[in-house]
Amino acid sequence: MEDKDLRSIQEARELLRKAKTAQKALEALSQEKVDAIVGTMAEAGEREAERLARMAADETGFGNAADKETKNLFAVRTIYSAIKDMKTVGIIRKDEANKLWEIAQPFGVICGIVPSTNPTSTTMYKALISIKTRNAIVFSPHPSALACTLEAARIMQSAIERAGGPKDAVACITEPTMEATQELMKSKLSDLILATGGTPMVRSAYSSGKPAYGVGPGNVPAYIHQSAKVKEAVRRIFESKTFDYGTICASEQAIVTDRAVKTQVMEQIRANGGYMLNSEEKSKVASVILAGGRLNPNIVGRSATLIAEMAGIAVPAGTRVLVAEETEIGKAVPFSLEKLCPILALYTCDNWRDGCLTCTKLLENGGLGHSLGIHCEEMDVIEAFGLEKPASRIIVNAGTTFGAIGATSGIFPSLTLGCGSYGHNITSDNVGPMHLINIKRVAFGLREMELDNRIDQAARQVESKLAAEISRDEVKDIIRKVLEEIQAGNS
């Protein structure tokens, strides 16, 4: 093993040890103190949102600084606003009618896996929900996003210290290796894994022997029904798809349109800066989508014009999205797969049931359990999609990027989106603070257990032995009196 690997493992162990001590200190804090610390963290993140966004865009080459700033602000404003008044310390709920108390207990030390596509926003979001629930967190950054992730973690750590909390409650590996990540996930000092990243990393988290919240890929289709307000639908899809150049896994990967409105859809695609690829151009772009049978990392989070240049095709300077008509779906069909960049497939269907089937096939091709968009004004069609589609988030008349993370919908705001059993995840929720606590229950007795069956059984046993010497009713009376005396003695 190389010295770097050994150093990284040792660093992981040391950070976990310090985090464990810090977590014990956190656990002793009141709700008011915890809330003050989290508020200071959010304020610090808001002040540094723009600088962190520039760092992330420059270091990774993914997306753009303006949208990354919006993501950072989503973490420290929108998510913070949703969690700031939550009860996460002590008795968090009393049900007087059922005489039941619920008590929050933190997991302990969390291992936080950070993706390269959303490094700073993910780091701050996970730090906020961890400290809110009195958990410590140690981050494993993606090597290509190391500097910006370290800086985001440092900002959170400094804020904790300024607010009077234990600074080691947030930490980050400075020399990331697979060995260090494995140490974080499998160590006896870690208690839970928040795995936001690629499928191999999520699978590794699930096989670590520790509780883990993972995510799945999002091959998100957006269906446009004939009743849709087409102009608004395409505008929302394009705003969603182009946000940070498509790096959020909830972004649309394909438009599925009813044939009745296809002409309008294509007009609006062009009006919104979409470029319809011809057959030759489609083949050239397809060749850069996949590399060695997998998504080409060089196109992730890149602009449409840059991808066109990679493919050797000429597009207008203002092109925002590359769009290709498609009829096939499969692992060998590049446009039918998840593409974390401004490329869309366009499918045509005869009616909503045909569209429903196409959307299902696209989800089965690599996005089971994630999200789906539908643009429609007919409630029965929307209901059918909700009931039938294998997606955890059905986003109606909104861009899926923003609707799925809870920015423009009533879904809980989050940057970790579970895919449920469809996607081999433990939850279909948007992960938040309540996923990071154990809930203990204090339950008072409400009623006595009915014991007639026990009395009857005992009476039959005694009756069989005494035969006619004593009646069954007399035996039952004796047993009942004995049981009452026992219960009285135990109370």
What length does the chain have?
491
Cα 134 vs. chain centroid, distance in angstroms?
20
* DSSP assignments along 134-199, one per residue: T-EEEEE--GGGHHHHHHHHHHHHHHHHHTTS-GGGEEE-SS--HHHHHHHHH-TT--EEEE-S-H
Q: Could you confirm whether 376 is annotated as catalytic?
A: no
Answer whether 275's CB lies under 8 Å from 319's CB: yes
Return the exposure string of 174-189: e unless at least 16 CB atoms fall within 10 Å of the residue's CB, then b.
ebbbebbbebbbbbeb
Pull the structure tokens for residue 90: 């002590």
Q: Which of 111, 148, 172, 249 is catalytic?
A: 249
Contact 45, 77 (CB under 8 A): no
Rounded Cα–Cα distance for residues 428 and 420 (Å): 4
Instruction: Give the CA count within 13 Å in the CB-facing half-sphere of 386.
Output: 10
Alpha helices in 207-303 (DSSP H): 230-242, 262-271, 279-289
Strand duo 321-325 + 274-276: pairing: parallel
Nearest to 240 by CA among 214, 257, 261, 218: 218
First to last CA, the chain: 63
- Strands, E, within 423-471: which ranges? 437-443
The Cα 224–Cα 374 span in angstroms is 6
- Find out whether 13 and 138 touch, Cβ atoms under 8 Å: no
Show Cβ contacts of residue 159 under 8 Å, excluding neighbours closer than 6 positions.
Answer: 37, 40, 41, 43, 44, 45
d(CA 241, CA 373): 12
CA distance 291 to 284: 13
| CA 316 remoteness from chain centre | 36
CA separation for the pair 323, 275 (Å, rounded) = 6
What the block records as the tokens of 382 is 């929307």
Enzyme catalytic residues: 249
